[in-house]
Structure 1
Amino acid sequence: MGVRSLPAEAYYGIQTLRALENFPISGLRPLAAYVDACVLIKKAAAMVNGDLGCIPADLSQAIVQAADEILNGALRDQFVVDVYQAGAGTSHHMNVNEVLANRALELLGDQKGNYQRLNPNDHVNYGQSTNDVIPTAIRIGGLLALERTLFPALADAIATLDRNAEGFQAVVRSGRTHLQDAVPVRLGDTFRAWAQILSEHLIRIETASGDLTLLGLGGSAAGTGLNTHPHYRQRVVARLAEFIDQPLRPAPHLMAAMQSMAPFVAVSGALRNLAQDCVKISHDLRLLDSGPKTGLKEIQLPPVQPGSSIMPGKYNPVMAEMTSMVCFQVMGYDSAIALAAQAGQLELNVMMPLIAYNLIHSIELLGNTLAALNHRCLQGIQADRERCLAYAEGSLALVTALNPHIGYLNAAAIAKESLETGKSLRQLVLERGLMSAEDLAQVLDLDTMSQLPGDT
């Protein structure tokens, strides 16, 4: 295809340069977890291929050393191919091969680009193909991102919500359905419900991520294992399992692992599901904090920054607002992943670069967002106990508790009259002689009404 000049400081090679020329699309570069995943695969492959005698021992050691340097933070600016690139991820894959080869050559005391001695294809990529490396890298990158960002952040947010639930358990507020008054509930139970919702999502995501542990590495170009050592497949997966401390296993069918994007769709779908409930919770926080004079204002979110360029003293629920925006983006990424997953043909899905970026980015976005929401919002929430109690005591929905004692029609008539006259439910029941004062006090006890089954 001709000759190109490379910058002297570049560790990538001509295939990467051609990709830079061809794909000046978004300016987005590969995510760190994805680079780590690719380099870990190359390190494992070099070690195994060296042990099996497939590549010379000195070259294997140099590739491993170069990989370790990159994993420790070196040469990160050398991974430069745009996210939107050649199908299947060949451009990024060769970017990784070239950087490792050139740094390994330096470690051997040689010059970058002397591919007669150490070649990106023949040595760094021995027994591998874009077609088995990239789907494996998406799996490894997803697992790394989950462990580094989302799982810890989700667990911390759940713990904070549980602590809030304990602190607010004695606070009774008016429940609301259809944004209208409903029967009283405990503010603590509101937070405990959110904690339970997130806990169930954590389980769903952990379950979905189990499919990421089945690796098609060793399938080579089409899943047949062409040009690989008979023992390579098992050994390389075992090495990767050691590197990331995950129960990785070879996929039962290498062609299937190469072709189907179902594991990524499943994880992405679980992320979308989490995002949808995070939007719901963030909207609830905004509603409960609305005001301060003309809204509910049952809770106060921490004021972390001024809320207006013109209205003094105003603050906004910015952390909850940010959370919703991020979750909408994750939902969009999930839609793109679903479309890309169905777009493969025969032995390969060429849309893997899009899936890799969207999936790993979704994990990191949600992890970073939940960490920020927890630290800057959830941990500092305060309850307005008096306001919560006033709403609960003034709610017409209290009449619901009278149904078993005076009947639905009497209860409805009392509710209507209370709304029209301003008289309390208690006053109207006593005026009509429908219940004794003692029985009425027991039935309309807010603490009793707001207890969940099993509460004491």
Structure 2
Amino acid sequence: MTQPSTIRIEHDAFGPVEIPADRYWGAQTQRALDVFAIGEERLPTCLVRAFGLQKLAAARANHRLGVLEASLAAAVEAAAREVWEGRFDGHFPLVVWQTGSGTQTNMNANEVIANRANECLGHALGTRSPVHPNDHVNRSQSSNDSFPTVMHLCTALELRDRLLPALRLLHDTLAAKAVAFDDVVKIGRTHLMDAVPMTVGQAFRAFAAQVASGIERVEAVAPRLHRLAQGGTAVGSGLNALPGFDAAFCAEVAALSGLPVIPNPSKFEGMGAHDALVEVSGALNVLAVSAIKIANDIRLLGSGPRCGLGELVIPDDGLSSSIMPGKRNATVAEALVQAAFQVVGNHATVSAAGASGTFELNVAKPVLIHNLLQSIRVLADGSRVFALRLVRDLDVDRDRLAGNVANALLLATALTPTLGYDRVAAITRKAMSEGLTPRAAAIALGLATGEEYDRLVDPVAMASPAAGGRRDPDA
């Protein structure tokens, strides 16, 4: 009995190509696989799926404008929707390291959709008829405007559906801890040294404010991200696309995705430069810096638990040392910091790639979007895990904090308006050199009685002087 062949022969303008029989890609994709044997990094699935959305909207726009007949448009739409839904993720094998316009990935999408459309119409894979990857799936398009359009769509969707929900979760979790710890007085630290009192809630409110500002930065770039280059075709002039294709395309994308996209008024800018994407990366870079600050502060405040600062109690994540039984580490905070390092590095790559527009085309699109989407992904996942696996169950060691406050030298700062700077400095020097509390030192120097000291030095009032000692949640 003859076994079915494991390969098929497909032809394009350059001749025959052998392709695995069960793969939906075509000749151009197979040729690219052979040419670009560089590394293992593939473009993320969210970009592949965004190509499904882009091809679906293009088919609808072409049909609306009368340049794609109904039966072919319906077949292309159905196949493109399947790509958008993730049914063909495994049929996009190309690495990031390809032509800087992303032409091979655009053709990969054209070929997969054409083959699937033809299959649904009763034809074998590789026939290129009645649906042709270039003539029909890529109608009114070029890789040069399609790939940047997909870059914008994918980024906008990932920000909306992945990053912003994770950031809001982290913000709300930090804000909840600020309220929970608002009555807990601690000693602030400047230059890594003891300073004056504050509350744990104030520290967490600062963390929440950093995340809130990060959310605002991400949201602020959206109007520029929603401008699409589609319709510019080869160089931005719109050659081979009917007038109105860009507007029809954007209307279809908006209806399908809910994104308020509009045609870029300068297709030349949208294809030759990617400033909006660099701007997104800049906002992510700031978020990464914030994440490093927040995660490091929390893990340092939780250091110990007996021989470090030990002010925060890090929740048990079930992980431990390979040699020290029962050792508990701030692993989730460390993971977030490492993810943030990656984002900072990615931003350097995105900046260099964004600067690689030469005349009418940027030729570093795949590496730019690869790094940008990775930044979104690790920040979103890291923020969510950090919120749920660490911040949510954080606690404070109230006894440790109370002891620190009682023994803090710089509580004496509250005496400065009454005694003057030099006398208070004498109190802190004596307390430091003799191992006394500042209260005992002030009494020993005859500068204040115990009653006077207790009246003037109130850690709660010092933590919120503007509120008269009341810890204002909005302070």
Could you say which TM-score interval applies, normalised by the shorter chain? over 0.9
Report SS of the residue matched to 1:5.
strand
Letter of the structure 2 residue corresponding to residue 283 of structure 1: N
Distance 1:374 1:220 in 2: 44
1:36-81 deviations in Å (ceiling 9; x for gaps): 2211110000011012111221111001001122222312100111
Is the partner of 2:102 in helix, strand or coil? helix
1:278 aligns with 2:291: yes
Deviations 1:301-335 (A, max 9, x none): 11213331111110110000000100001111110
Q: Which amino acid aligns with 2:194?
A: D
SS of match in other structure, 1:6: strand
Q: 1:183 matched to which residue of 2?
A: 196
Relative to structure 1, is the Cα distance of residues 452 and 210 closer, same or farther in structure 2, using a 3 angstrom cutoff? Answer: farther
- The alignment status of 1:398 with 2:411, answered yes or no, reads yes
Equivalent residue in structure 2 for 1:296, among 292, 309, 313: 309
Verify the 8 A CA contact 2:61 2:245 in the aligned structure 1: yes
Supply the distance in 1 between the matched residues of 2:94 and 2:465 (Cα, whole angstroms): 55
Aligned residues: 456
Q: Which has the higher contact order (CA 8 A, sep 6+)?
A: 1
3-state DSSP class of the match of 2:319? Answer: coil
Aligned to 1:226: 239
CA contact (8 A) 2:339 2:378 kept: yes
Q: How many Å separate the matches in 2 of 1:9 and 1:296?
A: 60
In the alignment, the residues of structure 1 paired with residue 209 and residue 331 of structure 2 have an alpha-carbon distance, to the nearest angstrom, of 24
**How far is the alpha carbon of 1:436 from its aligned partner?**
4.5
Matched, 1:384 2:404: no
What are the equivalent positions in structure 2 for 1:203-352 lying under 5 Å apart? Answer: 203-352=216-365
Q: Secondary structure at the match of 1:181?
A: strand
| Residue 114 of structure 2 corresponds to residue 101 of structure 1 | yes
**Unpaired segments of 5 or more residues in structure 1?**
none
- Tell me, yes or no, if structure 1 residue 414 matches structure 2 residue 427: yes
Partner of 2:8: none
What's the CA shift for 1:2? 4.1
Shift of 1:452: 6.0
Shift of 1:435: 3.4
Which AA in structure 2 matches 1:407?
G
TM superposition score normalised by structure 2: 0.94
Q: Distance in 2 between matches of 1:124 and 1:76?
A: 18
- Residue 6 of structure 2 aligns with which residue? none
Provide the residue aligned with 2:31 in structure 1. 18
Contact 1:87/1:351 (<8 A) preserved:
yes
| Equivalent residue number for residue 363 of structure 1 | 376
1:292 partner amino acid: P
* Match among 102, 123, 128 for residue 136 of structure 2: 123
Of residues 28, 40, 58 in structure 2, which corresponds to 1:45?
A: 58
CA distance in 2, matches of 1:92, 1:215: 18
Do 1:414 and 1:425's aligned partners in 2 also have CA atoms closer than 8 Å? Answer: yes
Q: Compute the displacement of 1:165 (Å).
A: 0.9
Query: Quick one: distance in 1 between partners of 2:466 and 2:375?
Result: 37
CA distance in structure 2 between the aligned counterparts of 1:362 and 1:242, rounded to whole angstroms: 28
Q: Runs of 4 or more off by more than 3 Å in structure 1? A: 435-439, 452-456
Q: Give the Cα–Cα distance (whole angstroms) in 1 for the partners of residues 142 and 231 of structure 2.
A: 9
**What is the rounded CA distance, in whole Å, between the counterparts of 2:97 and 2:387 in structure 1?**
33
Q: Which moved more, 1:23-32 or 1:76-85?
A: 23-32
Does structure 2 conserve the Cα–Cα contact (< 8 Å) formed by 1:98 and 1:120?
yes
Q: Is 2:65 the partner of 1:32?
A: no
CA RMSD of aligned residues (A): 1.3
Indicate conservation of the 8 Å contact 2:50/2:84, yes or no: no
Shift, 1:183, TM fit:
0.5
Sequence identity, in percent? 38
CA-CA distance at 1:242 after TM superposition = 1.6
Report the CA distance between 1:271 and its aligned residue: 0.1
The TM-score normalised by the length of structure 1 is: 0.97
Q: Following the alignment from structure 2 to structure 1, what is the Cα–Cα distance between the partners of residues 162 and 403?
A: 41
CA deviation vs aligned residue, 1:87-135 (integer Å, no higher than 9, x gap): 2100111000000000000111122222242111110000101111111
Query: Letter of the aligned partner of 2:377 in structure 1?
Result: E
Given that 1:50 and 1:60 are in contact with CA atoms closer than 8 Å, whether structure 2 keeps it comes out as yes
The aligned residue for residue 162 of structure 1 is 175
Are the equivalent residues in 2 in contact too, given 1:51–1:57 (CA < 8 A)? no
In structure 2, list runs of 5 or more residues that go unmatched. 1-13
